[in-house]
Structure 1
Amino acid sequence: MDLLLSPSFPSHVKTLMTKHHTPGLAIALVQDDTIHSAAYGYASLDPPEPCTTDTLFDIASASKSLTAAAVALLVEDHERFPEVRWEAKMCELLPEDFVMAEESYTRGITVDDVLGHRTGMPSHDDSYMGVRAAKPDNARSVTRNLRNLPVTKGVREKFMYCNQMYTVATHLVEHKTGQTFPDFLEERFFRPLGMESTNLQPGRARSKGLGERIATGYSWDEKEEEYIGFPPVESPEDQGAGSIMTSANDYLKYIRAIMNRSPPFTDAVYKGLLKPRTIQDPEGKDKLPFTSPVLYAAGWETVYYRGQEVVSHDGSVTGWGSTHFFLPGLGFGGCVFGNGDEAFLVAGVLMREFIDARIGVLEGERPDWDGILSGQEEDGDGDEEERLRRELCPGIEGEQEQELPLEGYVGEYHNAGYHSYVVDVKDGALFIDATDRSFACTMVFEHVCGQTKYLVKLRDFQDGGEDLVKAEFRLENERAVAMGLGLEDEMEELIWFDRV
């Protein structure tokens, strides 16, 4: 608490916010029965609205702890749901719906595996359809689509973060209870804990008259040196993986309850949630100073830092960033929420600074957390575009022109797991409008070599940020019959779509 209340702290926070382009930030801390909170900057820049500790933020993947907690309540309700156990097979709990691409995965994956990111399934984040689609996905359709998506590792072989498995977990909750997942959260967590401002999805918050308290999300345009603002996205297709709208003051009630194992958290629920399931980084590539390897539990990560157990989870999505944490041995915890792309980094720095202060690390012996975490973000492979070009076309020198007419590539391409993309021509280049996806974007193709191999710029629908992926066409008689896209980092091969 002393750090948060120190006279120099506000200027320190504002320096971090300026450096990492975070317009607004809200912090709440608890030590035993003592609570302090503070807010800085702006919830909205135009018109200017000050950020407060009651401002509502999209906390992104920090939401996963509530999904895991919802499942944990079912596990401990032996009277109503005796079949729901941590070690229960998902295919037995969701017959017909939970089917993987290979039978051994279908029959092998447990509740523990789903919540511990150890199913062998990579993210496949571009496979599910958002609210702008003609047929948006929901928790059941996301679950039923698993059978169409390739796995890349064996069950329990490797930690692979998979958002949609947390959506699958919400389908389990809905299937067993007969309630919608938002209603379950409200009945079992939000109302009992007095979290009157917390909801799943921004639309639900607005329907309760909380719209004016919702912060605007922001991305920083490096070229124009200005902020791009947008409201939080409605994304029921990824419920359970993110999209909890809450304030620092409200969410601290949840942190306090789980840390103190007070209702609805029994000792058994707490132990089930915090049981380590997966080593995230066995090779220690991202290991932090004085910190043990990170273990993934269920919606929480656990580490030991200078001998103290730290339980936490970050959240990051375009325009928003967050972290929440507690140290069970010291009765200390908190949350940090911000409305910027790098707000998760600011939150991570401040969390570690709060922990250093709480456990009494002398100022001269505290790591430079901003430098360390910023350095991790900046680490890369150099010129990504050149690297991808040479992977596509080894030995390529100079530019190779597009010679075949673009009309030969135009058409609809389908993959059972990823649905359909329509390739068109726009501004003299092959183009895909993928704004119907949950991760909405557009794609622009740039020819690299052979009239078949391309680099694709994926441009984020909200902030215009770009990623590069590889693409390839298969041609017959100078006409494209199939398209491959490098949409999954965990797969060496492309995702292939057949021309319809």
Structure 2
Amino acid sequence: MLLSDFTSRVEELTTKHHVPGLSVAVLSEDQVTSAGFGSASIEPPLPCTADTLFDVASCAKSITAASVAILVEDNENYPEIKYDALMSNLLPEDFVMSCPEHSKGAMVEDLLSHRTGMAPHDNSYFGMRAECPDNAASITKNLRNLAVAAPLRSRYLYCNMMYTVLTHLIEVKSKLSFSDFLEDRIFLPLAMNSSSLQPANARAKGLGDRIAAGYIWNKTSGYRECQCAECPEGQGAGSVITSANDFIKWVKALVNQEGPITQKVYQGLVRPRSFPSYHPARLKPLTSPPLYAAGVDIYYYRGHMVVGHNGVVTGFGARFAFIPSIKFGAVVMGNSSEAGIVAGILIRELIDDALGILEPDQAAGVRVSKVGVNPSASTKAGEKKKQKRSRPPKNSKPEHQSNRPSDANKTKPDMSQPDDEVEPQVKPLHQYTGHYWNSGYRGITVQIEDNRLFVDASDRAMGFTLTFHHMSDQTKYTAKLVDAVEGGSDPIEAEFLFEGDEVAGLGLGLEPSLKKLIWFHRVNGNTEGLEKGR
């Protein structure tokens, strides 16, 4: 397809989904073509190129899984690390889950394939804004305080934390930081010179001016900028900063089994292990149900195996995919949460193009692909006409596999009751205020703001606030959860527990997969108990 046609398609999708900038790279056989579209920054205005750096979020899980696979295949130095090795044997002091059966039985590949039964608990960990931020070691040691949601290996249950736990395993066994391990074992061997773990490391390499600004779109107020965030508590699950031109090198290594990606490493990555749930009505034509391997999802389309992964984090979205049988791969990344939607659409169309699927209404005998960056086209990526985009308003919510699980449907209370049917608040609000503690979720403080009970949990990795609305019995509430960065509002269930006239505890519906409340006990007197165990 002509480059101008692909440019028009990108323009159409990025305008519709409010994505300021997009980078694309395509691998066909061993030839790479890449391009940038739109803006890496709106103010000051900076063009997006194929060398612009983005947070690729969960696309990084493929790199984490490969890091584990490299250790698995290194029998000389790490004979104890196998896919079926028990995590409790590898990290006997640190890897302890709340259920003894899970602790004793969880294997390395269970973590890789999201089948440990551990609930996501994405609201439990603390980010850089916290007094005591989490890291890979503290995330691992906190597993013992968090409830599981399903029996071991009973179902696919996506859990970011377990990929961070795997980086703790890598750090303990290799005696390197995960960042240094990636540099030594993956980035340097593949000449991924523009790739880093965390934005601070990208800036330390002198690449700070190439990092795209992230954007959130609101139909009323327009675009709101957010910076690429430092997330040590999320390493392994995400936090790789890279470009389309760099990440396509990673895809090429997977396709061709190059450099650190030996055939054995590759086979370990693409072996299906679990079965994500899916809605049959949403399955694309000629497409199989999805499978999950190790840091990659797999499905079959028109008889071809397609391997890839999505990535969505506040302000950024990406997807990569490749088809081993035809040595095709593609990477799409952009600077808004809904860039992940655009990436998914474009990659499906690029796959059709690579497979030679033609438009049904095209003229007979003329092969015009559906959409694509044609590697054989005479127009080079660097010569492409820059897109000029007006500044339409923007804000978007992440898809699933983003920071906050949007699947918060199971414990959502009914907010449809008219105000006059809700019982009035009788007890004075100060009876409920104070400090509350849960071993896994640690401390929260209930205060009064605008004559309502309120919790500020913006110091968590996926920061949020809670505003309480009384429903009944002076104990049952609906708490409106507002994302500290993206805004929006999700109602969750909340309940206070009284012992006599005193509040003794607070239950919050912070983890939908548990179908029960997370209970915090009230801490009397001072806040010292809030820091215990951190």
State the TM-score bracket (shorter-chain normalisation). over 0.9
- Following superposition, the deviation at residue 396 of structure 1 comes to 9.6
2:90 corresponds to which residue?
93
For residues 441 and 35 of structure 1, what CA distance do their matches in structure 2 show? 41
1:78 corresponds to which residue?
75
Amino acid at match of 1:390: D
2:259 corresponds to which residue?
263
SS of the residue 1:289 aligns to: coil
Amino acid at match of 1:439: M
1:480 corresponds to which residue?
503
> Which blocks of at least 5 consecutive residues in structure 1 are unaligned?
369-373, 379-383
- Following superposition, the deviation at residue 463 of structure 1 comes to 2.6
1:103 corresponds to which residue?
100
- Following superposition, the deviation at residue 480 of structure 1 comes to 2.0
Q: How does 1:330-341 map to 2 (within 5 A)?
A: 330-341=326-337
For residues 84 and 370 of structure 2, what CA distance do their matches in structure 1 show? 40
Amino acid at match of 1:329: S
2:161 corresponds to which residue?
164
For residues 22 and 4 of structure 2, what CA distance do their matches in structure 1 show? 17
1:371 corresponds to which residue?
none
SS of the residue 1:195 aligns to: coil
For residues 95 and 392 of structure 1, what CA distance do their matches in structure 2 show? 49
1:295 equivalent in alignment to 2:266: no
For residues 141 and 392 of structure 1, what CA distance do their matches in structure 2 show? 40
Amino acid at match of 1:27: V
1:381 corresponds to which residue?
none
- Following superposition, the deviation at residue 334 of structure 1 comes to 1.4
SS of the residue 1:329 aligns to: helix
SS of the residue 2:512 aligns to: coil
- Following superposition, the deviation at residue 464 of structure 1 comes to 2.1
- Following superposition, the deviation at residue 327 of structure 1 comes to 0.2
**Residue 427 (structure 1) aligned to one of 428, 434, 450:** 450
Please report the TM-score for the alignment, with normalisation by the length of structure 1.
0.93
Q: Deviations over 1:94-137 (max 9, x none)?
A: 11110111111111100010000000001000111111111111
Q: Deviations over 1:24-75 (max 9, x none)?
A: 0000001112111111110111111111111000000001001000000000
2:352 corresponds to which residue?
356
2:307 corresponds to which residue?
311
For residues 390 and 192 of structure 1, what CA distance do their matches in structure 2 show? 54
Distance change (3 Å), C-alpha of 1:416 and 1:392: farther
- Following superposition, the deviation at residue 284 of structure 1 comes to 3.7
Q: Answer whether contact 2:57 2:240 (CA < 8 A) is retained.
A: yes
Q: Answer whether contact 1:406 1:430 (CA < 8 A) is retained.
A: yes
- Following superposition, the deviation at residue 200 of structure 1 comes to 0.5
1:21 equivalent in alignment to 2:44: no
Q: Answer whether contact 1:257 1:265 (CA < 8 A) is retained.
A: yes
Amino acid at match of 2:109: D
For residues 21 and 286 of structure 2, what CA distance do their matches in structure 1 show? 30
1:492 equivalent in alignment to 2:489: no
> Which blocks of at least 5 consecutive residues in structure 2 are unaligned?
362-368, 372-395, 401-407, 524-534
2:462 corresponds to which residue?
439
Amino acid at match of 1:111: V
> Please, which moves more after superposition, 74-83 or 124-133?
124-133
For residues 283 and 38 of structure 1, what CA distance do their matches in structure 2 show? 34
Q: Deviations over 1:320-373 (max 9, x none)?
A: 1000111000000010001112110000000000001111222139999xxxxx
- Following superposition, the deviation at residue 282 of structure 1 comes to 6.4
Please report the TM-score for the alignment, with normalisation by the length of structure 2.
0.87
Q: Answer whether contact 1:390 1:396 (CA < 8 A) is retained.
A: no
Q: How does 1:171-250 map to 2 (within 5 A)?
A: 171-224=168-221, 226-250=222-246
For residues 280 and 183 of structure 2, what CA distance do their matches in structure 1 show? 39
1:30 equivalent in alignment to 2:27: yes
For residues 485 and 364 of structure 1, what CA distance do their matches in structure 2 show? 53
For residues 283 and 455 of structure 2, what CA distance do their matches in structure 1 show? 39
Q: Answer whether contact 1:289 1:367 (CA < 8 A) is retained.
A: no
SS of the residue 1:336 aligns to: strand
SS of the residue 2:103 aligns to: helix
SS of the residue 2:332 aligns to: strand
For residues 45 and 256 of structure 1, what CA distance do their matches in structure 2 show? 32
Amino acid at match of 2:15: T
For residues 7 and 99 of structure 1, what CA distance do their matches in structure 2 show? 55
Amino acid at match of 2:128: V
Distance change (3 Å), C-alpha of 1:200 and 1:360: same
- Following superposition, the deviation at residue 314 of structure 1 comes to 0.2
Amino acid at match of 1:352: R
Root-mean-square deviation (CA, aligned residues, Å) is 2.3
**Residue 40 (structure 2) aligned to one of 40, 43, 60:** 43
Amino acid at match of 1:480: V
**Residue 456 (structure 1) aligned to one of 455, 474, 479:** 479
Amino acid at match of 2:247: Y
1:416 equivalent in alignment to 2:446: no
Amino acid at match of 1:82: P
2:391 corresponds to which residue?
none
1:62 corresponds to which residue?
59
2:377 corresponds to which residue?
none
2:526 corresponds to which residue?
none
Amino acid at match of 1:266: T
Amino acid at match of 1:128: Y
Q: Answer whether contact 1:389 1:448 (CA < 8 A) is retained.
A: no
> Please, which moves more after superposition, 476-485 or 336-345?
476-485
Amino acid at match of 1:323: R
For residues 317 and 448 of structure 1, what CA distance do their matches in structure 2 show? 33
SS of the residue 1:173 aligns to: helix
For residues 288 and 316 of structure 1, what CA distance do their matches in structure 2 show? 21
Question: Number of matched residues?
Answer: 484
Distance change (3 Å), C-alpha of 1:282 and 1:325: closer
For residues 228 and 481 of structure 2, what CA distance do their matches in structure 1 show? 20
For residues 448 and 224 of structure 2, what CA distance do their matches in structure 1 show? 27
Amino acid at match of 1:92: N
Q: Answer whether contact 2:413 2:491 (CA < 8 A) is retained.
A: no
Amino acid at match of 1:318: T
1:390 corresponds to which residue?
414
Q: Answer whether contact 2:357 2:370 (CA < 8 A) is retained.
A: no
Q: Answer whether contact 1:170 1:240 (CA < 8 A) is retained.
A: yes
2:134 corresponds to which residue?
137
1:466 equivalent in alignment to 2:489: yes
Distance change (3 Å), C-alpha of 1:463 and 1:194: same
Amino acid at match of 2:462: F
- Following superposition, the deviation at residue 390 of structure 1 comes to 3.5
1:153 equivalent in alignment to 2:137: no
For residues 278 and 414 of structure 2, what CA distance do their matches in structure 1 show? 30
For residues 278 and 447 of structure 2, what CA distance do their matches in structure 1 show? 44
For residues 156 and 233 of structure 1, what CA distance do their matches in structure 2 show? 33
